[in-house]
Amino acid sequence: MVLPVAAAVVIAVVPRSRPEIVRALALLAAVLEVALSGVLLHRFRTGIAGFQLVSQHPWIKDFGISWKVGVDGISLFLVVLTAVLFAVAMAASTVEHDLKAFMCWMLVLEAGCVGVFLSLDLFLFFIFWEVVLVPMYFLIGGWGYERRVYAALKFFLYTMLGSALMLVGILALVFLEARGGRPITFDLVSLANNQHLAGATAKWLFLAFSASFAVKVPLFPLHTWLPDAHTEAPTAGSVILAGVLLKLGTYGFLRFGLYLFPKAAVDLAPVLLTLGVIGIVYGALVAAVQRDLKRLVAYSSVAHLGFIVLGTFALTTQGLQGGLLQMINHGISTGALFLLVGMIYERRHTRQISELRGLQRSAPVLAGVFMVVMLSSIGLPGLNGFVGEFLVLLGTFVTRRWWAVVAVTGVIFAAVYLLWAYQRVFHGTPDEANASVPDMTWRERAVMLPLVVLIVFLGVYPKPVLDRMAPSVNALLTHIERHTSYQQPDVAAGR
Amino acid sequence: MSMLAAATSTPIHVPRVEWVAILPELILVGAALVLLTASGLRRARLPRGVHMIATIAAAGGALGAAWYLWAQVSDGKARDAVAGAVVVDGFSVFFMILVSCAVVLGALLADDYLRREDLDGPEFYALMMLSASGAMFMAAANDLIVLFLGLELLSISLYVMAGLHLRRSESQEAAMKYFLLGAFSSAFFLYGIALVYGATGSTALPAIADFLRTNVLVSNGLLVGGLGFLLVGLGFKVAAVPFHMWTPDVYQGAPTPVTGFMAAAAKAAGFAGLLRVLFSTFITYRLDWQPVVWALAVATLVLGSVVALVQTDVKRMLAYSSIAHAGYVLVGVEVATSRGTAGALFYLLAYTFMVLGSFGVVTVVGRRGDAAHDLDTYRGLASRRPALALAFTIFLLAQAGVPPSTGFLAKFYVIGAAVEARAYALAIIAMVAAVVAAFFYLRVIVVMYMTASEEAESPRLRVPVGVTVALAATLGFTLVFGIVPGTVFDFARHATVLRF
């Protein structure tokens, strides 16, 4: 995690007249980070529920704050996903100006994201959570499209408002837990095991945390920053925004919401489930009527994230695993979709669906890749999206039947808007402007390859991933069951 | 004859004066006098930079003396000095160190500015050192009269400094406005002292505290009224709403380095007095003053942040942001716990460096004439002077409370103290105000980075050496202690050991 920061510093001192050195160094750093996450994956011991590879150093003794990082089955794959997506996004980015600053911000952003996933101390977590904001703000504002300044500002202020409430929540939790002579600590595990809060207090604190996560996810009424930010961001920015940043919110719900406030989470689950379902249906409907291809993908994110929230608050093994897997899937497939939309934009300089037609003729490979990625996003069996969505729906159905039923319509809508968009963009006879569109270059193919491989691999054989997640997910559910009267129904026995 | 014998047989009681205890103040006052005398005696102009170097040397000496005192009091020991007029405890030494730092940074910013504006001379430096010694006296005051003396020494020097730019009418206007309103607030303060004296029979802070601890006043109107007037006087100095009216005009009109110094030192001194009076003397009347401070804090936070939104002049915007910052420190004051006080102190220290850094950038961008402070002049600064723009960005983000910076930790500390004291409403209001504030800080960043420069042909901004050094120091402090704050946290915590 320290690596990207160091790399950013190194790049900052490279003269800006040598963009090729900057690019090479940044890519090297990103690839190294992928390799490091590979090492992490290798050293991770399957079958252990708790945190592994923990490193801890005291930091601010007054407040019991320490530098504590580690992984478990929940965060492991998100770290890997982050590393892969950043490498891909940086390789794919075609920045026209200030490449140096762009790469610096990307690397700082990467450090922040990985930091959020790894930190096991609430203070540290909050620091990284906030650190993520600044580089993303500059990426959107500096390299985005026409309305970039507005979008960047909206993104920053929405998220900051959420964080403000979360900070008060964190402090309240820490100081309330420290009553009665217990030491002040920001340590996640000890706070989660304490559970001394009164029910109502816990509920308020859960809401304070949720405010921040819900903005980031984004859940239904708080989603309005997302289409603007996604649409106006540069391609690499959109990939990271959709692929990684949104996951920070769902990860937050999973890691902090459920783990710290099990009782409140169980009590308030119906509310969040409802918001998730509204997100699914609403996102899908709005996506269907978009005229801008990038905006369409952005709204599809709202729908997909609804599924993840649904799975998380179904509070069953299947639901949680599905939600978690769907985080990975959405990162890969929506990231890939944004890359493809970016490629189309570079060729045609428009994102309006009405101006695109018959690209299949002129750019068959692009069309083929788009098809695969899109089908994964729809949830076609055999590709990764299906596994996640299926688990989510299964997990939800056994506890919250009607929510699952409504959510299923979202799957159908997804097929409708994506296939319809594909049909309008790629089918038909190309007019003059679209006939001469060049196909994917080798660099673009190399960029897309790892993502397509992952899409197929996770669709056919998700077992290695699920196996590593399972112990942690089960431990989380046991934790919830121990602190509440909630009992997870036995799916295998048909409840 | 016999009378004379009587007079000689009962010697006049002369209090023992522990010069060491007020050494930092003495160094600054002495240096100011020497500087004035020396440059008055010489016909020829002194070589450039001498005033600045002398000032920095004096402030360095004061810093060293304060450091020596710190070693004596850091274990929680406090002692009276000069017949109980001043007290040497961690609290007062903390402010000595803070103000010395502000003097050093102020001198660095001013050096080139004064030459640029053709105002070169010893006056600025002498006045700055005098007002700094006033600020130190306020922090060390053990008696309301001494507090008042410090306040006046601080203020009168600042009135003159605000009007130092002879050729700018705004500067003259600022001085006039500051002086008139300041005189009013001093009168209030003095009246408050009189009322408190009437109610308690003493102006010495320990005596007042003892009196209040041991006596229950049946009718305490006099005392509460006096406390209210003291609050008005000090609230004026820290620019708390509704005593903030002077701030925007004075901050905008005063020469930029003066504004920076004023924002750092005067605010710190005002809070030193406020904490000394409220937290150590009137702690038994906590339930009376807490609601008042609560209301002040909320009004200051909300008004400061919201009004800053519509400013188009960067100096004016920073003035309103300084009002908002006073609100956060007031949050630390309101909770009336030692953690709250430590948070307030840490906040003031962090703010000193952030604000002097910010005004350092503004000094440079202001150009000759000190008039180019409109938001438009920052257009495309990032492409013209990337390093300067980056520095300003870091200061602004730190002021907005984005980690890793001391600005974030300062907010974290005071909000933490408020939450610990169960002041949830205050904590939430403060955080929401922080989001509002983030908007106007970002506006400047947007202008610097995301709009094209219109005046590409305008002469390149020159960043003088002094400002570079000051910016490097303030940036270093803001970032390094934003990441490893342990030492400064300890420093602030030890400084809250007030003598009661």
**Is B7 contained in some domain?**
no
Give the distance from residue B337's alpha carbon to the nearest chain A alpha carbon, in angstroms.
14
Tell me the C-alpha distance between B193 and B199, whole Å: 10
Name the average pLDDT for chain B.
Answer: 86
Q: Please say whether the beta carbons of A273 and A310 come within 8 A.
A: yes
Amino acid A373: pLDDT? 86
Distance (Å, rounded) from C-alpha B275 to C-alpha B281?
A: 9
Q: A209-213, B3-7, B374-378, B396-400: which range is least confident on average?
A: B3-7
Please, which contacts does A419-425 make with residues 24 or more away whose CB atoms are closer than 8 Å?
A: A419/A374, A419/A378, A420/A288, A421/A293, A421/A296, A421/A353, A422/A370, A422/A371, A422/A374, A424/A353, A424/A354, A424/A356, A424/A357, A425/A293, A425/A344, A425/A353, A425/A356, A425/A357, A425/A359
- Residue A217 phi/psi, 5-degree rounding, is -60, -55
HSE-CB at B486 with a 13 A cutoff on CA atoms is 8
| DSSP H or E segment with residue A60 | strand A52-60
Instruction: Closest CB to A165: pick one of B412, B419, B431.
Output: B431
Torsion angle of C-alpha atoms A330, A333, A334, A340, degrees rounded to 10: 170
Is A296 part of any domain? yes
What per-residue confidence (pLDDT) applies to A297? 86
| Residues 6+ positions from B305 with CB-CB distance below 8 Å | B320, B321, B324, B433, B434, B436, B437, B440
Q: Which residue of A has its CA nearest to B416?
A: A171
CB distance A287 to A296 below 8 Å: yes
Which residues of A are less than 8 Å from B397 in CB distance? 134
Reading the block at residue B297, the tokens are 């804090």
Q: Which of A142, A148, A171 sits opposite B419 (nearest CB)?
A: A171
B1: in domain: no
Contact B432 A164 (CB under 8 A): yes
Residue B500 lies in a domain: no
Each residue of B277-332: pLDDT tens digit?
Answer: 888 888 888 888 889 999 999 999 999 899 988 888 889 999 999 999 999 999 99
Judging contacts by C-beta atoms under 8 Å, the chain A residues touching residue B493 are 62
- Determine whether the interchain pair B486/A59 forms a contact, defined as Cβ–Cβ distance below 8 Å: yes
Instruction: Let me know if residue A96 belongs to a domain.
Output: no
Q: Find the helix or strand (DSSP H, E) in which A54 lies.
A: strand A52-60
A46 to A35, A39, A40, A322, A463: CA distances (angstroms): 19, 14, 12, 18, 12
Secondary structure of residue B313 in the 3-state scheme:
strand
Q: Which residues in B270-296 are b (16+ Cβ under 10 Å) and which e?
A: bbbbbbbbbbbbbeebeeebbebbbeb
Name the residue range of residue B165's domain.
13-494
Q: Which chain A residues contact residue B408 at CB under 8 A?
A: 127, 130
What pLDDT does B9 receive? Answer: 62
- From chain B, the residues in CB contact with A127 under 8 A are 403-404, 408
d(CA B146, CA B22): 13
Q: Name residue, tokens 């016999």.
A: B2
Nearest CA in chain B to A143: B450
CB contact under 8 A, A171 and B427: yes
Q: B309, B399, B415: best mutation site toward chain A, by most A Cβ within 10 Å? A: B415
- Is A433 exposed, middle or buried, given 0-12, 13-18 or 19+ CB atoms closer than 10 A? middle
Q: How far is CA B437 from CA A136, A162, B303, B326, B399, in A?
A: 19, 15, 11, 13, 9
Q: Find all residues with CB under 8 Å of A284, minimum gap 6, and list them.
A: A299, A300, A303, A410, A413, A414, A416, A417
Non-local (6+) Cβ contacts of B88 within 8 A are B21, B69, B72, B73, B78, B79, B80, B81, B140
Does B8 fall in a domain? no
Would you call B402 and A61 a contact, using CB atoms and an 8 Å cutoff?
no
Chain A positions contacting chain B at CB under 8 Å are 59-63, 126-127, 130-131, 133-134, 137-138, 141-142, 148-149, 152-153, 156-157, 160-161, 164-165, 167-168, 171-172, 175
Cross-chain Cβ contact A164/B420 below 8 Å: no
Q: Which residues contact B14 (CB under 8 A, 6 or more apart)?
A: none
User: Do the strands A52-60 and B86-88 form a parallel or antiparallel pair, or are they unpaired?
Assistant: unpaired
φ/ψ region of A332 (left if φ > 0, alpha if ψ in -120 to 50, else beta) reads: alpha
Q: Is A302 exposed, middle or buried (0-12, 13-18, 19+ CB in 10 A)?
A: buried
Helix axes B221-238, B169-200, angle to 10 degrees: 160
Residue A10 lies in a domain: no
Residue range(s) defining the domain that contains residue A321: 282-489
3-state secondary structure of B79: strand
Angle of the A19-43 helix axis to the A73-92 helix axis, nearest 10: 160
Among candidates B415, B435, B442 on the partner chain, residue whose Cβ is nearest the Cβ of A168: B415
The interface predicted TM-score of the complex, written ipTM, equals 0.84
Using the structure block, give the residue that is written with the tokens 């400094």.
B161
Are the beta carbons of A237 and A459 closer than 8 angstroms?
no
Show the tokens assigned to B443.
């506006």
Q: Which residue from B438, B484, B485 is facing A156, i.e. has the nearest CB?
A: B438
Q: Are A138 and A107 in contact (CB under 8 A)?
A: no
In a domain, B3, yes or no: no
CB-closest option in A60, A127, A171 to B489: A60
Q: Does the structure show a pLDDT above 80 at B405?
A: yes
Q: Is residue B154 part of a domain?
A: yes
Give the span between the Cα atoms of A384 and A382, in whole angstroms.
7
Least confident of A4-13, A187-196, A484-493, B270-279: A4-13
- Which among A130, A149, A160 has the least Cβ separation from residue B446? A149
On the question of pLDDT at B500 being above 50, the answer is no
- Asked if the Cβ–Cβ distance from B408 to A130 is below 8 Å, we say yes
Considering only CB atoms, which chain B residues are within 8 Å of A164? 428, 431-432, 434-435
Sign of the CA dihedral running B140, B142, B147, B153: negative
How far apart (Å, rounded) are the C-alpha atoms in residues B396 and B441?
Answer: 6
Q: How many domains does chain B have?
A: 1
Q: Which residues pair with A60 in a beta bridge?
A: A65
pLDDT value for B188 = 93
Tell me if B419 and A134 make a contact (CB, 8 A cut-off).
Answer: no
Structure tokens at A46: 């399957």
Determine, yes or no, domain membership for A388: yes
Residue of B341, B449, B488 to mutate, interface with A, max A Cβ within 10 Å: B449
- The whole-number average pLDDT for the span B464-478 is 88
Maximum mean pLDDT: which of A386-395, A476-485, B150-159, B419-428:
B150-159
> Distance between CA atoms of B487 and B97, rounded to whole angstroms?
14
- Residue B87: phi and psi, rounded to 5, are -130, 140
Considering the domain boundaries, does residue B325 fall inside one? yes
- Kindly tell me if the per-residue pLDDT of B5 is higher than 60: no
Is the residue at A418 inside a domain?
yes
pTM, to two decimals: 0.88
Q: Which among B419, B432, B450 is the nearest to A175, CB-wise?
A: B419
Lowest mean pLDDT among A32-46, A284-298, B25-39: A32-46
> Which is nearest to A219 in space by CA: A211, A228, A207, A230?
A211
pLDDT for B452: 67
**Residue range B243-265: average pLDDT?**
91
Residue A272 located in a structural domain: no
Between CA B366 and CA B373 the distance in angstroms is 6
* Listed residue (A162, A296, A267) closest to A216, CA to CA: A162
Q: Do the Cβ atoms of A160 and B428 come within 8 Å?
A: no
Can you tell me the distance from the alpha carbon of A104 to that of A4, in angstroms, rounded to the nearest whole number?
9
How many residues are given for chain B? 500
Average pLDDT taken over every residue of chain A: 80
Give A-chain residues touching B402 at CB under 8 angstroms. 130-131, 133-134
Residues facing residue A68 across a β-bridge: A56
pLDDT digits (tens, 9 = 90+) for B380-402: 787 788 888 889 999 999 998 88
Helices (H), B262-285: 267-275
Q: Which of B427, B428, B435 is the closest to A160 by Cβ?
A: B435
Residue A404, domain member (yes or no): yes
Among candidates B351, B361, B321, which has minimal Cα distance to B239? B321
User: Which residue has tokens 């003397």?
Assistant: B281
CB B429 within 8 A of CB B302: yes
The shortest CB-CB distance from A168 to any of B428, B438, B486 is to: B428
CB-CB under 8 Å, A168 with B427: yes
User: Across the interface, do A137 and B486 touch by the CB < 8 Å criterion?
Assistant: no
Select the more confidently predicted residue: B106 or A440.
B106
A45 C-beta neighbours (distance < 10 Å), count: 9
Residues of B in contact with A60 (CB under 8 A): 485-486, 489
How many distinct structural domains can be found in chain A? Answer: 1
Residue A265 scores a pLDDT above 60? yes
Helix axes A262-288, A401-426, angle to 10 degrees: 30
Task: Tell me whether residue A362 is in a domain.
Answer: yes
Is residue A17 over pLDDT 70? no
CB A324, CB A306: distance < 8 Å: no
Minimum mean pLDDT range among A279-288, A313-322, A477-486, B355-364: A477-486
Chain B residues with a Cβ under 8 Å from any Cβ in chain A? 397, 402-404, 408, 412, 415-416, 419-420, 424, 427-428, 431-432, 434-435, 438-439, 442, 446, 449-450, 484-486, 489-490, 493
Q: Which of A97-101, A433-437, B179-183 has the highest mean pLDDT?
A: B179-183
pLDDT, average across residues A252-257? 86
Q: What is the pLDDT of residue B194?
A: 94
Distance between CA A178 and CA A122 in Å, rounded? 14
H or E segment at A70? strand A65-71
A and B: number of Cβ contacts within 8 A: 78
* Residues of B with Cβ-Cβ distance to A141 under 8 angstroms: 446, 449-450
